[in-house]
Amino acid sequence: MVAVLRTEGLTKTFGSLMAVKALDLEVQEGDIFGFLGLNGAGKTTTLRMVLRLIRPDAGSVQLFGKDTDDSFLDSFARIGALVESPSLYPYLTGRKNLELLGRLSGGVDAARVQWVLEAVGLAARGDSRVRTYSQGMRQRLGIAQALVHRPKLVFLDEPTNGLDPHGITDMRKLIGRLAKEEGITFVISSHLLYEVELICNRIAVLREGRLAVQGEVSRLLAEAGGRVRLVARPAEVARRVLLGKSVGVMVEGDDGAFEFEGGRDGLGALNAALVAAGAEVSELAPRAITLEEYFVRLHRTEA
């Protein structure tokens, strides 16, 4: 696969704060790439360095196979971005904002502007002034700005900020459709791990400015193992058996179910032990770990 973004040793400090440390990233053509981390992990700083909004202290950035120090203007024409909050002209309409950006990007036709307004759900308000827009509408327009000039690589920093649940679903579907139909590669920074798991094929996780993990979502989750769900009565007997088996981290849900870390191995023996202890087992099955659980486990392990 072709790498459309690669960073090597990317480093940035602010005074005594090491915001990003020796970061090596690789985003491949066609990826929907999730860029994850806690607040302050260095995600936005990294994106700002990639987009040359700030200069790195060390390291390099390659876009479309070329070092940005040599060819950023050529690469920039093929990039769309929404980093932090969108920059908009409030006294202009949404349509005029897109037309203006289109001219700065070399020109886009009226049909493309209309298509993008429809795609982000602003067709009915495209000719209203932006100062009348809600926060969610401004966010939609910011995403439209990132898409209007037909980019091949799009960076979206918390793209669902201000969107209601319906809008979040719409954005997820739009990203998937554009990746497939227009061949756009996406880099998405988000705290909504459920949405990231649904849409992204690869992720990188930052922890205190350093790369904690990078790879395919399915592979990372499979390698991390899963959890086991147990429903048995009486619950006191089930709890005693589980404690005796020294299972991994165990959680007892409000519905009386137990969940603990593990996979298929040993479930037969566990079931036999539960029955022998007088428990009636109605459910004992493995389930895959979620990205949210993986994220929490990763930070707990490295703490």
- Tens-digit pLDDT profile for residues 121-164: 999 999 999 999 999 999 999 999 999 999 999 999 999 888 89
Q: In the structure, what pLDDT confidence band is assigned to residue 301 with cuts at 50, 70 and 90?
A: low
Listed residue (279, 294, 55) closest to 196, CA to CA: 294
Average pLDDT, the chain: 90
Q: What is the pLDDT, as a whole number, of residue 262?
A: 72
Residues 221, 291: contact at Cβ < 8 Å? yes
Distance from chain centroid for Cα 78:
21
pLDDT tens readout for residues 86-111? 889 999 999 999 999 888 777 788 99
Mean pLDDT of 255-272: 82
Listed residue (56, 54, 74, 52) closest to 65, CA to CA: 74
Question: CA dist 292 to 155, 179, 231, 260, 263, Å?
Answer: 22, 24, 23, 15, 18
The length of the chain in residues reads: 303
Q: In the structure, what pLDDT confidence band is assigned to residue 302 with cuts at 50, 70 and 90?
A: low
Question: CA dist 251 to 65, 140, 199, 228, 254, Å?
Answer: 47, 39, 28, 10, 10
Terminal Cα distance for the chain, rounded: 34
Cis check: omega of the bond before 234, within 30 degrees of 0: yes
pLDDT tens readout for residues 179-230? 999 999 999 999 999 999 999 999 999 999 999 999 999 999 888 877 888 9
* Cα 156 to Cα 143: distance, rounded to the nearest angstrom: 8
φ, ψ at 223 (rounded to 5°): -70, -25
* Cα 282 to Cα 159: distance, rounded to the nearest angstrom: 42
pTM summary value: 0.85
Domains of the chain: 3-221 (3.40.50.300), 224-302 (3.30.70.100)
Angle of helix 165-181 relative to helix 135-147, nearest 10 degrees, comes to 0
Q: What is the pLDDT, as a whole number, of residue 11?
A: 97
Distance from chain centroid for Cα 228:
26
14-18, 104-108, 109-113, 233-237: the lowest-pLDDT one: 104-108
Tokens of 63: 């876009």
* Cα 8 to Cα 276: distance, rounded to the nearest angstrom: 57
Q: Which residues pair with 251 in a beta bridge?
A: 259
Of 233 and 262, the structure prediction assigns the larger pLDDT to 233
Residues 240, 233: contact at Cβ < 8 Å? no
Tokens of 181: 């139909």
Element spanning 240, H or E: helix 235-245
* Cα 137 to Cα 266: distance, rounded to the nearest angstrom: 52
Q: What is the pLDDT, as a whole number, of residue 249?
A: 63
